Structure formats: structure tokens, C-alpha cells
Amino acid sequence: MMARALRSLASGVAAAALALSQPAAAAPQRRPMHIMSMTLCADLLLLQLAPRDRIASVTYLAHDGAEALFPGADAGIAVNHGTAEDIIVERPDLILSDDFSSAVTRRLARRIGAPLVVVRDARTFEDIRKEVRLVGAAVGEPARAEALVARIDADLAALAAKPGRPPRRVVAWGGGDSVPGRDTLSDRIIEAAGAVNVAARPGLGYTSFDVEQLLMADPDAVLFGGGGVVKPSLRDDAGQHRAIRQRYAGRRIVFNDTAHTCGLPQSVRSALDLRRALDALPDRRPVR
Amino acid sequence: MTASRVTPWIAALVLLAAVIASLFLGRVNVSPVDLVQGMLSPNASLAGLVVTELRLPRAVLAILVGASLGLSGSVLQGLLRNPLAEPGLLGVGNGAALGAVLSIYYGLSTAFPLTTPLLGLVGAVLAGGLTFAFGGRSTLTLILAGSAVSGLTLAILALALNFAPNPYAGYEMNIWMLGSLSEKSWDHIALAAPFIVAGLAILATMGRAVDALSLGEVQATSLGIDLDRTRILALLGVGLSVGAATSVTGSIGFIGLVAPHLVRPFVGHQPSRTLLPSALLGAALLLAADIATRMINTESELRLGVVTSLVGAPFFFWLVVRLRKVAP
């Protein structure tokens, strides 16, 4: 699993490097040269789409996410804390933010004449394509964006070409407080991997799904987030619950948090990794 | 048989009923027959796993934590001769929460799981020690020092929240502080129970002291009560029991305040008679609140500390109104 994940990471990095080395044929005349990202998911798209020397700063959260997905990509890039004051200090010529940017941020962006591009949460692979193209166009690298979209399509085609075994039932679980249900990116990744998310219930996105519900739903495997932006926390403790250790020994699959949190080309790659991990799971007899 | 003798038995029966209900009620509806068969069968079944590894440890932890809060509240109300006294008044609960939060969010618990309850205990004992060091001379100064220590620990908790390694950690920290018995296992009980039991044992020996103190500090001293020793023992007992409980479950308010008041009308106003019923009723109340968190079906889990506060705060108002009526 770990070796496959590393191979997957390596190929991801190679693809990103290839994308970055391609000439930007369709680039507009004037490209932003001092780009500032104020949100994690925009950071991770920006690092894959724009050359380092044109990135003014990324958020302080970007490093852990980048290390998990494409190590070293943020080396030497300044860090911001997503505040309006950072804009004054850096005077970027393009700002990437999200729906939650403050009124002050928007006003300051207007004042310094920097376009503010809103990168929205992705819940579907189509959303990811859209956001990749949006950021690619904003930073003046549409060709690189298309290269990443092509990679997404290739990975999805690979998933579709080889249908999985009878669908495995899984849940992405890190404690019962906030479990991805229907209409979440994690649900789409699980679905693309040919599995069924047992926490998916109509009308509910992230939902509570406690350990009792998990046990009684009796999934074939439990997916635990690892690496990325979420450091040691209570969910590690929840994942070590005796009942889960007992029932899911050898049936725990670790996924990359960042790829499930942000809509990235790596999110689709994460579905491929999940498919391989599920294919490697031994069959078991249901216990009632 | 007098009411004061019957009350502990009634409290025990209420607790037993709550324990039975807690084994059969949960977010998932499992038939009682399956649950009983699962408990009795040597073969692993899902129903058996649910009852033996989830509902039973949850009930045991609720009993330990509720008894700690109820008994601590009863001892402190007697010791401080203040009907509004509860474990939070001495700052030990917040101290425990601070220690536990620091261990979780700065990675210590990952390296060595025992650090969470241990640091929780250290936090509780340090907070209690600080309270005693500054206010141990009299009841009034003890209450004031306790408020100051509570304020200080809350400020440091806010600082920890401020410098949370990432927004997710901050969210988890907030949620943890609302208190919960969900996802607790026998491992948590093994970590906390020795300290909780030690604290309860210390507090259980304090009946004579709190009875004597109800007459006033001078009278208690003349009856041979060593006031300093009594205060240290009370702080140690509350620190160990409530500290260990809080370090596992997060902050749970109002049980320590409410339980002694609920039993007092039945056992009379001799403080020592409230100790055992308060512990039993504290456990039953916490179990009942925990059952409510499971049965009230919400999209996000309703946290135990929220339920006890929602029920406890009106009780606090009632207490104030009642005190106003009886006050001269």
C-alpha cells in the first residue's frame, strides 16, 4: 500500500513537472507575475500550475499538503496567513481566495488593482476540472491546466476501463463527528473507486456517524485519513477504538487527507489508489 | 426505615435503571434479544461487539465520571458551606482540560497515549494546588482563588486554541471541550479508573469533616478537625477524580452542582448523608444525559456537556430564586 502510494506520488510529481515544463502556448500577453494564494486548496492548485518564481506566497497550511502530494514544490516560496495585511505587504497582481474572503480583503484587492479569483470547494470531478481551468486561466497557464485535466480524464478512464469486483462497502472515518456522506468529494472518490460509502444518506453531506453506526453498517473496510494538513489529533485516538481494532484489523486503508479535502488532480489519483487497496482486500464472511 | 436510609437505595435503583436503559438504547436500533444473545454468546457477533465494546464501557465510564462529579460537588458544598460550589469552582476541571488539550494537540499523546490522562491529572492537581496556595486560608479566599485559577486556565486554553496547529485542530479542540462519552472504550477506563477510584475513596472519607464544618470553622477545629488537612484532602480527591474524568471525557458541567441539591431534601441537611446518594445520582444523571445524546437524532452529535448545561442552567436559576426566598 505504502509502496504503491509512493509510486503514485512519484508519478504525480512527474506529471506535474511535465506540465510545468510544457511551453505555455496559449498564454495571454500579460501574465500575473506576483500571485498570492490565500486558501489551502488554491495553494495546491497554484503550486501545480504556476512556476515558483511567479508565486508571491501561499498560506502557512500549504507546506504539509504539498509535502504529502508533491514534496518540495513549495520550497523557497513565502508564506502568508490569509490576512488582509498580507496583501498590503506583498502587493500581489493576482489573488486566489475562496468564498470566505473578508470584505476587507476584497476591498484591498480592488484598491491595489489585483483581480481576486474565487476558488470554490469541489464536490465532483467536474468541479475539479472547472477549478483547474479557472486557476490555469487566471495565472496565464491554460495549457498546463489542460495537461492536468487530461491527467484527470486519463485516471478516470483507467478507473472506468477496469470495473472493480463486486462493490466493497467502506466508510471514510476519523471519529464520528464529521464523516463524509453523500454529495462530498470523498463520496465521489469512493464511488469512482467502485465502492459504496455506507455513510452516504440522502440529503446529508458531512454527517455524524458514530462507532456504533459504523459497526452495525458492517463495512468491508474503514478508510482513515493520514498525512497532509491534519496533524496528530483526537481522530487518531478514535481510530484506535478497541472495537474497530478488533473488527477491522487488516481492513484499514489509509488515504491522503489533502486529496479528499481539496479538489485536485490527485483526488482522482486517490480513487485509483483506493481501487488497488480494495482489490487487495481479502474476502470475509459477514458476521451477524 | 427513614427517608435518609432509603434515599441511597432509591438512587441506586435509578442508577440501575439508567444502566439497563443505556445498554439497550443507542443510535442504532438493535433488538434486545440480539443484544442479550450477543452478551452471552462466546462467538463474536456485531450485537455482542456493540454491547460489550461500546455501550458497556460507555455506561461504566458514565458511572465513574458522574459519581466523581456528584461526590465532588457534595463534598465541596459541605466544605465551602456554599450551595453553589461545584468541582469547576476550584479550577480543577479546567486545569484537567488544559493538560489534556495540550497533550493531544502538540503530539504528546501520539507518542505515548497515557500522556493525555496523565497531563490532565497534572493540570488538575496543579490548578487545585494553585487554588489552595493562594486561597487555602479561608473558605472565601478559596472560592476567589478558584475563580482566578479557572479564569487563568481558560485563558491558557484560549491561547492553545489561538495557536492550534491548523484550523481542523482548533475545531477538534472546541468540540472536545464540549464533553462526550462517545467513542470511549475500555482502554480509556483502564487509564482513568485508577485515579478516579483513588479520588472517590479520598472523598468518601470526608463525611465527618464536612459535618463538623457545617457548624463553622471554629467549631470544626474545636471538634478536632484539621482544616488544612481537610482542604488538601478535598482538593486531592476532587483533583484525582474530576481531573481524570475530565481528561478522558472533556468538560461536563452542572452534574456536580445539581446532584447534591436533588438528594438533600430526602436525606436532610447533614452533609455527610448527601455524599453516597449524590455520587449515585450524579452517575444516574450523567447516564441519562448520555442516553439523551444518543436518542436525540441530530445531524451533528449532540455533545454531553451541552445537554448537562442545557438542563443544569435552568436548575441554577431555580436555585437562585429559591435562595432569594429563604435569604433573610
- Cβ distance of B46 and A231 shorter than 8 Å: no
Decide if B252 contacts B304 (C-beta within 8 A).
yes
From the CA of B70, how many Å to the nearest CA of chain A? Answer: 27
Answer yes or no: is pLDDT of A13 > 80: no
Task: Report d(CA A53, CA A77) in Å as an integer.
Answer: 8
Task: Report d(CA A97, CA A84) in Å as an integer.
Answer: 11
- What digits encode the pLDDT tens for the residues B142-154? 888 989 999 999 9
Q: Which of B168, B180, B300, B304 would best serve as a mutation to test chain A binding (most A beta carbons within 10 A)?
A: B168
pLDDT tens for the 328 residues of chain B, in order: 566 678 888 889 999 999 999 999 988 888 888 888 878 877 778 888 888 888 999 999 999 999 999 999 999 999 888 888 888 888 888 898 898 888 777 767 666 666 777 788 889 889 988 988 888 777 788 888 989 999 999 999 888 878 776 676 777 777 778 888 988 889 889 988 999 999 999 999 999 999 998 888 888 889 888 888 898 899 889 988 998 898 888 889 899 999 999 998 888 878 899 999 999 999 999 999 999 998 887 777 788 989 998 988 888 788 788 878 776 6
From the CA of B45, how many Å to the nearest CA of chain A? Answer: 5
Task: Report d(CA B255, CA B73) in Å as an integer.
Answer: 8
- What digits encode the pLDDT tens for the residues A71-119? 999 999 999 988 888 888 889 999 999 887 778 888 888 888 899 999 9
Q: What percent of chain A has pLDDT above 90?
A: 51
- pLDDT of res. B3: 65
Answer yes or no: is pLDDT of A227 > 90: no
Instruction: Report residue A23's pLDDT band, with 50, 70 and 90 as the boundaries.
Output: very low
- Cβ distance of A287 and B105 shorter than 8 Å: no
Contacts with B60 from chain A: Cβ below 8 Å: none
Tell the residue number behind the cell numbers 443505556, with chain if given. B22
Nearest to A98 by CA among A263, A213, A279: A263
Cell numbers at B250, concatenated: 472533556
How many angstroms from the chain centroid is the CA of residue A99?
17
> Does residue A285 belong to the interface with chain B, where contact is any CB pair within 8 Å?
no
- pLDDT of res. A7: 38
Answer yes or no: is pLDDT of A125 > 80: yes
Please report the number of interchain residue pairs, chain A to chain B, with beta-carbon separation below 8 angstroms.
Answer: 94
Please report how the helices B56-79 and B271-295 are oriented relative to each other, as an axis angle in degrees rounded to 10.
140
- What digits encode the pLDDT tens for the residues A35-52? 999 999 999 999 999 999
- pLDDT of res. A76: 92
Q: What is the mean pLDDT of residues A11-20?
A: 41
Nearest to B250 by CA among B304, B301, B298, B309: B304
Decide if A94 contacts A117 (C-beta within 8 A).
yes
Residues 180-199 of B with CB under 8 A from A: 182-183, 185-187
- pLDDT of res. A109: 85
Residue A99 phi, psi dihedral angles, 5° rounding: -65, -15
Decide if A74 contacts A62 (C-beta within 8 A).
yes
- What digits encode the pLDDT tens for the residues B262-298? 998 888 878 899 999 999 999 999 999 999 998 887 7
Tell the residue number behind the cell numbers 488544559, with chain if given. B98
- pLDDT of res. B279: 95
Dump strand ranges (E) for B115-173: none
Residue type, B150: S
Contacts with A242 from chain B: Cβ below 8 Å: 53, 185-187
Q: List CB contacts of A141: < 8 A, sequence separation 6 or more.
A: A24, A27, A31, A49, A50
> Does residue A202 belong to the interface with chain B, where contact is any CB pair within 8 Å?
no
Q: Which of A184, A212, A284, A288 would best serve as a mutation to test chain B binding (most B beta carbons within 10 A)?
A: A212
- Cβ distance of A237 and B104 shorter than 8 Å: yes
- Cβ distance of B172 and A213 shorter than 8 Å: no
Instruction: Report residue A146's pLDDT band, with 50, 70 and 90 as the boundaries.
Output: very high
Q: Identify the closest residue of chain A to B49 by CA–CA distance.
A: A243
The most distant pair of C-alpha atoms in chain A lies apart, rounded to whole Å, by 66
Decide if B312 contacts B255 (C-beta within 8 A).
yes
Q: What is the mean pLDDT of residues A169-179?
A: 88
Rounded alpha-carbon distances, angstroms, from residue A223 to A49, A171, A174, A198, A253: 30, 6, 8, 12, 5
Sign of CA dihedral B13, B14, B15, B19: positive
Q: Cα–Cα–Cα angle for A226, A230, A236, nearest 5°?
A: 60
**ipTM of this predicted structure:** 0.73
How many angstroms from the chain centroid is the CA of residue A273?
14
Decide if A58 contacts A79 (C-beta within 8 A).
yes
Using DSSP bridges, classify how beta strands A94-97 and A179-180 pair: parallel, antiparallel or unpaired: unpaired
Q: Identify the closest residue of chain A to B52 by CA–CA distance.
A: A243
> Does residue A281 belong to the interface with chain B, where contact is any CB pair within 8 Å?
no
- Cβ distance of B27 and A247 shorter than 8 Å: no
Answer yes or no: is pLDDT of A14 > 60: no
Which residue in the set A176, A204, A246 is minimally distant from B301, CB to CB? Answer: A176
- pLDDT of res. A236: 67
> Does residue B176 belong to the interface with chain A, where contact is any CB pair within 8 Å?
yes
Residue type, A151: R
